[in-house]
Structure 1
Amino acid sequence: MSEANDIEQDDEEQFVESTLTQAIENQLESGEPAAAKATYNKLTLVGYAHDDIVELMAHVLAYEIDAMLDADRPFDTQWYETALRALPELPPERD
């Protein structure tokens, strides 16, 4: 891979990470879904830092978006909320 492609990929990864992080921050601010704030509060109580919590939650969101796109189906809110509530346990790695 060329250096230009590496830079483009890094920029794209940073954009995706920033977008997912902002989506989580928006969920926390709006209180929707309720599982987002409940998960945040739970993880805060057991000692996780804000940035670590948001990163874990963004990972779950990315997982569901990826699954949704792969299966060409709507966003599964029930799965997403269940997966949030399971944190800090992350969903299994996808093939």
Structure 2
Amino acid sequence: MFVVIGSWELDPERREMQRQLLDVIVAGVSQAPGIVKGYWAEDITDPPRSHTFIVFADRASAESFAADVRANLENQAKAGVTNLGLDIAEISATT
């Protein structure tokens, strides 16, 4: 399995919009080819940050998803979301 790990800076003035969009994003990601599970977590730092962990069954699905996320920078910016990093890693162990 592979995971796409994202770190995001959130514009605090657009938090309500971001919260409303999260349901739409989760629904869309749940339809991604090869998805196993997705996690969204909010950090409590200032400025607010979010972290995403989207697990895929195979590397090709993870890479395709990451490419789609990178191609969506314009919509992310409109929602006050800035990508700080997006990595793909192979899962080596689970509990």
Give me the TM-score of the superposition, normalised by structure 1: 0.31
Between structures 1 and 2, the one with greater helix share: 1
